[in-house]
Structure 1
Amino acid sequence: MKCCTRYIYIVLVLFFVKMIKSSHGQAFYDATSCRQDGNAPGTRYTCINTTLTKNSCETFLIYRANNQFATISAISTLFGLTPDTLLEINHIDSPLETLFVDREVIIPVSCSCSDGFFQSRLNYTVNGNATYTDIGCGFFEGLVKKITLVEENLNQEVIKVGNVLNIPLKCDCPNNNDYKYLVTYPLVSGDSIRKVSTKFGISRDNILAINNISLDTTIYPETTILVPLQSKPVIDFNIPNLQPPTPGFLSTSPVERNVKPEKLRKVYIVVAVIGFGLVLAILVVTGLYLKALNRCRRDLFVIPSTLRSSFTSFSTPPLSSPRSRPSPATRSSPNSCLSPDLLASIKYSLYNFTIEEIKSITKDFSKDCKVSENTYKGLLDDVQVLIKEIKFSEIRHVIDLHSKINHVNIVKLVGVCYNESSWSYIVLQCPSNGSLRDCLANSLSLTWHRRTQIAFDVATGLHYLHYCIVPPYMQTGLDSANIFVTSKWKAKLVVLSRNPNNGTIGSSTFEYENFDALKMLEKEDIFEFGMVLLEILSGKVKTDGKLLRESIGFLGGEGGEGGCFENLRTFMDPCLKEGYSLAEALCLGVLAKACVESDPLHRPSMEDILKVLARMV
């Protein structure tokens, strides 16, 4: 009996010792991505509420200044603190002093055990378009993860401006007297355990022990580690750039490594079988393609010479009565007047419209259907199209150009109606939202995201014309009137060709083999693209171009009342209100100013423009 009593006593003692030790909960390093969806274990530091343990403490977090929160005033507002609370501990004189980007700021917080986790709670009011990922991994720099925000705000699946979110920031309290503070430190690219230990003046082994990691553990950006300290944190900003030990910071995602060898063998077998099948399928398809290509070449060369000569010039086909028509996507021309070379290169079939069909589409060229001096719009089988008047001699050049173009950001050619004795017509797609100029004139629905997407689409289309067409085509006369917007707010360019002998039509395109002339026309395109950017930013579509260029002089440091940001806010389209990123607007404004430089050599290339815009969409 005594033995049993002694055994029970020992078990109880061990249980209470374990409870006291586990009250600190999990302090293991969590390598899961801040942006990960679904269930991810270990996203917070766990705790157990008992009367024998420490369930709350005063501790600190580390936050880095950024473009959006660049002053102590802005950072203190984000964390619900007074500026004076942060000024003294961070040795900063003024709450309005602009801090350099990534300058680390010490944030004092109250940490307590709640719902099984150590956390510091605060409320955040949404004041712009944002997602849980933007808030957790962007605004709060990984101090709270996306899945934690979703779990804590289940009643707000869709975030709207004005919503108040519960933000449980990650923190931890020490469970013994070895340390007074456990500082939550968010990791960024380039960090290492060695660098953090040097920055806070503590042993690297202490950091490894408190986070339950070893020297060969890989650490990732937008995760956190705990920094154990005996006194309030002091950061050394003068340490040299330290190379992280191997393995250090890897720009990869955590990978599960505990896959059984049997499963791996099965995976290898399946992959090998699929790979063999794909190779076999590619060989079969390639053989069929080459066979069909040889047949087409034979058919092309056996065209009788008398028939071939009849195709070398355009002639007016006889007008026929209106007939039932297939949809624009599947039209074919019953009477082709194209040369064999053109037939061989064209990517799709064009429909040959009669003048009666053109009149029917445009309601006999009524004013209601007129878009501009020589352009009409109308419905063709319930699909909206554009009808443009051109000279008969120019149709060949339009078809020749569009036979080489296949791009999502360029309006497609549907068909032609040609008449040697009068005006001829081409029929183009007409995206449902109309021209960019019309959209800017009614810009309530043209959000900032849509504007940056449109700018990127236009740049992509121009880059395609400059670098992917042989020989390259330069789009001159580009403006917001010949850029069209789809129902999904994607931009498409209207591209027409120029007859070198007979002038231009609408928005003209030039083809040059002279390199210097080609580069000068490319810089002219870039200038016109910059003017489109200025219209997108300001919403001013009927302003004189020179005045519009002069109105952004503040971006070049020219004098004027107010600072750069204040002048930029004044320049921006008032319909945007506060629904845009000031940093992105500044970036787009600087890009536009570079594009409209007086010296063409100072303007960026289309490749440089795409690199800038690709970061915004």
Structure 2
Amino acid sequence: MASLALKSTLILLFFISIPYLITSQQPYGEKNCFPVNNATSALGFSCNGVNRTCQSFLIYRTQPPYNTISAIASLLSANASQMSAFNSNISETMALATNTEVIVPVTCSCSGKFYQYNTTHIVKRYDNYNDLSNNTYEGLTTCNAIRTQKISPNVVNIFPGETLTIPLRCACPTRTQFNLGIKYLMSFVVQDDDTFSNIAVKFYKFGADVGQTMEANEKSEQDYVIYPFTTVLVTLKSLPNGSVMEYPPYVAPSPSSPPSLPPSDEPEPPSSDGGSSKRWVYFGVGVVAGGVFVTVAGVILFFLFLKRSLRKKSDPIFSSKSFEAQEKALPLESKTETMTETESMEFLDNISKITSLKVYSFKDLQTATEDFSSVNWIKGSVYKGNLNGDEVAIKKMDGDVSKEISVLNKINHFNIISLLGVCFENGVWYFVYEYAGNGPLSEWIHQENPNNQTLSWGKRMQVACDVATGLNYLHSYTSPPHVHKDVNSSNVLLNMEFRAKITEFGLSRPVRGNDGQFTLTAHIVGTKGYLAPEYLENGIINPMLDVYAFGVLLLEMLTGKNVAQLFEGVKVHLSEILEPVLSEEDGISNVKEFIDSSLGEEYPADIAYSMFVLVDRCLRKDPGSRPSMDEIMQILSKTLTTSLMWGSSTSDSISSSC
């Protein structure tokens, strides 16, 4: 009876405390892969924190080939320079001893009901869910969490070459935890002999507390058992760093001869039986191989058919006045062309079959926007809506939408706006995007904005870092690489936490030159003031086009001036206006004449000067002299960390996540 009463009490306490607690850890192993386990703890931590997005941390243990900061950052889609900063500034290329614990800073965000941080993995031969979740990602994800992220979750198997989204487990503090002074949650994978006590002691310097950590995982003194390869959340009251960690270098094992095998006690089977068994094995392998071949061939034929159905009647060939080149391109005139009704319906049918996008009915959108009422109107053809309790932005589209759908459906990145679904009604396409509550960046950085809205220095650096991170993803982590082609302050949206989302991919282009570095076109489109000289003069499209536009955008953020104001008095190149800052010996003293006056004195002059130097590099006429977006991201990541240190002594508060 006493046991029954205790269980009843615990159950009651569980339901009372649901709004304030974070889902407990889920045991890992093959049983979590099949049959399907959709228990909350198997899919992630509940999205019940104060913020839908926050700075979070993971602990990853080195293992070859992931035994350097650089390799781990690549595996987890993290920022290598920021990782180095949090881990005592160790070299990004230094090989560490196996099982060395490394701090990985990530941006944790709500995705539906669960918090997660996404990375991607290209399936290799012999990969399986178990190996990926338990070995490669060391228990920071689960089999079923990976499976639910598949484009077609009902297709259980994974195939070599397939790109998987890997949702890593993380969470943001609840209101109760914030009130206790808890600012961050760290995802820690339990090892043999680990207890809540020794885990909390390890991070005691950063405010980790045994009781609070147990509560964060719905554990108590009566129910304290945790298991290896499960993820627990460690509560932190300050930013972690490598001061409590050790980073021994990797030492290769000395070569030795393999041990001899003991003689077998069992006699070999008769040769006739062995031959018969082998023949049956060969026959079975042949049957399976044949089946696999037919299946793969069918899939290939389907996608070839789909690709053909989406292509235009002919691929235009463009020439440049300065170059004799040909380009097999996606239709550049898509802004003025439209698909026929039949093509659109076929395309819509294909979307519903092979993409993760939801196809909405027009009635869904009418209900979401209160029949597109003026109350929900945002700007142009964009309306705010509410679908199943989630705020969304619904936009009426013009022209051929296939290119933008193709690009956005392949991208899953925090700093790129998410396309959630589509609708086709009476010849008109509607896109459903995630909602960015603070609107376009242009409404926050220009001095003449009617609402007198402005951003602090720290938030400006956060936004710049976000945009650079998103563009770097397009340039370096999509295949083929993509160029946005229309980066400007109106095409960067800010969510409620002032995190940047790049939008408007209608002009985006893959880079498909002979060397994979550039493409040529004679069709010049984009936003005036942001177009690079080589694009205007010769039609060259490569990632440096976005780098130039980013330089203009960063200059807007630093000065508070719009593009038209920046070009006032410019004779040849925009970078001319930077000469008083960069050419004089004491350029830092001139920063005040250029910086946005709305910042007052609330900015670090030396860091601001370094940003003007970065702008100058981005705006160089020779594209080969500009920094890559990856280098820009590394610079801004360090700048953001430095700004965090500066901001800690002021009222400026930023998340330091890039």
**Which TM-score band (shorter chain)?**
0.3 to 0.5
Which structure's relative contact order is higher, taking Cα pairs within 8 Å and 6+ residues apart? 2
Q: Which has the larger radius of gyration?
A: 1
TM-score normalised according to structure 2 size: 0.40
